[in-house]
Structure 1
């Protein structure tokens, strides 16, 4: 089965492409934010702990994030493949994920990076904010999120590039065109969708 990560700046279309990849490759799309929300809603012991941290305005520590991801990857639908979105976010999480997969005799197949011009993404997100009446999505807030993303993910992207796992795909354009570019890049690595 296929084990993938998808990364890209906010507004690059990660969620849309993750859903398409999950369907095409027969694997669950696993977003860390969804794991947090699911555990909080179900009031699991980890969810209660996460809620207290989030309610206090703090970041969820790596140890807790790792525990939640481990639990999710142990679920039946993810045992033979998955697409992670939003994890790993730190170098320690990269090491943890590598060790976790190695303990199961597995490894990542590829890391898909959606590349998008920052000005184009800011413009896209501003338009969406205006269309949807999101007053908190000011241009300054959007630019700040782009800077945080760049600062946090650049070291991870470098690690995956060194490991030969990184596939960089132009994330701008029509949704179908981006999906095609991703599929072609994966096919070039002998990673094929489910028949």
Structure 2
């Protein structure tokens, strides 16, 4: 089973590249952002709780996020693998994900970090906000989310580096060139 974690700050291209990887490798995409948005849109009790947390610019607690991810993995027992997008965001989440996957006889195969500078991120998200109207792309929330990534989430990378699973890819440039760099790493796995 091929299990990937795609890392990068908001606007790094995780969703764009994940879509291409899903098609090539027939993987199931698990995006915590998409899961949260679906619950919020459906106005589920969880969605209301998550909405409040996100509105304040905070991370959703590990217990909620991990339970939702486990549910998504269990819904797809015949999957060839998964792409985890937006998770894990802390070392505790990475450890919980490893423990859960080990319990279902698999593990993270490769972790790819898309490197994109802050100016490029802001430009991309401004464009995305115009096109999609995503509420989480609000300028004030964006600054907080980018800061959250660079002050907290980025510290998960050494966890995977110590396991020999981390690769970094320049996330600026032609989408297809970035994709080829990603697939070269995955194919070497």
- TM-score, length-normalised on structure 1? 0.81
The secondary structure found in structure 1 opposite 2:152 is helix
Structure 1 residue 170, shift from structure 2 partner: 0.8
Structure 1 residue 92, shift from structure 2 partner: 1.5
Give the counterpart of 1:49 among 35, 46, 51: 46
2:8 is the counterpart of 1:11 = no
Which residue of structure 1 lines up, in the alignment, with residue 117 of structure 2? Answer: 117
Q: 5 Å matches for 1:1-195? A: 1-41=1-41, 47-55=44-52, 57=55, 59-76=59-76, 79-129=79-129, 137-138=138-139, 142-189=142-189
Flag the structure with larger Rg. 1
* CA distance in structure 1 between the aligned counterparts of 2:143 and 2:71, rounded to whole angstroms: 34
Q: How many residues align?
A: 185
* CA distance in structure 2 between the aligned counterparts of 1:13 and 1:147, rounded to whole angstroms: 17
Check the 8 A contact 1:27/1:78 in 2, yes or no.
Answer: no
Gaps of 5+ in 2: none
* CA distance in structure 2 between the aligned counterparts of 1:73 and 1:16, rounded to whole angstroms: 21
Mean CA deviation greater in 53-62 or 159-168:
53-62
* CA distance in structure 1 between the aligned counterparts of 2:131 and 2:67, rounded to whole angstroms: 38
* CA distance in structure 1 between the aligned counterparts of 2:95 and 2:50, rounded to whole angstroms: 23
Deviations 1:167-186 (A, max 9, x none): 11111111111111111122
* CA distance in structure 1 between the aligned counterparts of 2:128 and 2:69, rounded to whole angstroms: 30
Deviations 1:115-170 (A, max 9, x none): 11222323333455567789x744x6644432221112221011111111111111
* CA distance in structure 1 between the aligned counterparts of 2:98 and 2:130, rounded to whole angstroms: 41
* CA distance in structure 2 between the aligned counterparts of 1:89 and 1:49, rounded to whole angstroms: 19
Gaps of 5+ in 1: 190-195
* CA distance in structure 1 between the aligned counterparts of 2:52 and 2:46, rounded to whole angstroms: 10
* CA distance in structure 1 between the aligned counterparts of 2:133 and 2:95, rounded to whole angstroms: 40
* CA distance in structure 1 between the aligned counterparts of 2:141 and 2:14, rounded to whole angstroms: 19
The secondary structure found in structure 2 opposite 1:84 is strand
